[in-house]
Amino acid sequence: MDMELEPPTDATSAVAWEPSNPSILASSSWDGNVRVYDAEQPGIRTVFPHPGPVLDIAFGGKGAPTHGKIYSGGLDRNLRELDVGSGQQVMMGTHADAIKAVKWLDGANALLSGGWDEYLRLTDPRIGGAGDPMDTCKLPARCYSIDAVGHNVVVATGKRHIWIFDDRKMSEPAQKRESSLKFMTRTVRISPAEEAFVVTSIEGRVAVEFFDPSDESQKRKYAFKCHRQTVDGIDTVYPVNAVAFHPVHHTFATGGGDAFVSIWDPAAKKRIRQLPKFPGSVSSIAFSADGARMAVAASLIEEEGTAKDARNALVVRSVGDDCRPKGR
């Protein structure tokens, strides 16, 4: 069963679920707002206005002092802490250019932000913007996407660089790689099992990579084509904008510019199913911590083959068996 929430007035950049409350959902948008929803009670719970487009959000950890806090970054270059309970905003620091990605690191108990200034910044939320960052790292190009599970942190940048960090030492990467995909990276996500991660590109491809750098493990990596269709007799390739792993089944969902979401079983190297078409280009996907819900942001993005009736939408879907691997 799908439920539509009131969407942003412009393209959604990210959706995220509260880690300890599987009914609280947040979205960030190019319209300059972060919205908070309760999936049990349709309607917007809180709106946090920003002076410019917001490019990413992340909830803090489950414990104090970050429980119920959202962290945001965007084109205004400022890192903010948003308190869902009080509605207050606190400045946490700045980058020299737009902040493209933010991620809470449970292992480090700190916030990681990556910017178009080609820097990573690790911030202690207890001191906010009052002090210098805990750690910084110069990247080889603009930051595009960050994910973290356990002590593993993966950062995707321009020029197809993939840097892997241990969150206990964010000043330098443990591994430096080049994406196995030939075109620009869109997003990266780590498996809950912490063994592998997924990289997507603008050219309708997904790569499954493994952390273990040994030759034996690297032979297991693979890539595949997806989010392609024939439009008016022409083969059309769409960017793979979004990826999310299911927290229970460890399958993953991809969302593309074709307005479709597909569910994949990385162990079987097969697609489990394709969900019905969404109202616009899928720009972000997130599963609730218990795996019972999936949030899908559809955005009116002008891409080749975009449907004339495309619109912005924010859909919460009850997952059921959608993400369960076949035969398990």
**Residue-wise pLDDT tens digits, 239-282:** 999 999 999 999 999 999 999 999 999 999 999 999 999 999 99
Neighbours of 189 (CB within 10 A): 24
Q: What is the mean pLDDT of the chain?
A: 93
Q: pLDDT band for 328, please (50, 70, 90 cuts).
A: low
- The pTM assigned to this predicted structure is 0.94
Report whether pLDDT(38) > 80. yes
Tokens of 35: 């919205």
| Contacting residues for 231 by C-beta, under 8 A, at least 6 apart | 304, 305
Q: What is the pLDDT of residues 163-222, one digit of tens each?
A: 999 999 999 999 999 999 999 999 999 999 999 999 999 999 999 999 999 999 999 999
- Cα 221 to chain center, whole Å? 21
Question: What letter does residue 233 receive in the DSSP assignment?
Answer: T
The pLDDT, as a whole number, for residue 216 is 95
The pLDDT, as a whole number, for residue 5 is 94
Q: What are phi and psi of 92, to 5 degrees?
A: -110, -10
For the chain, which domains are there?
2-318 (2.130.10.10)
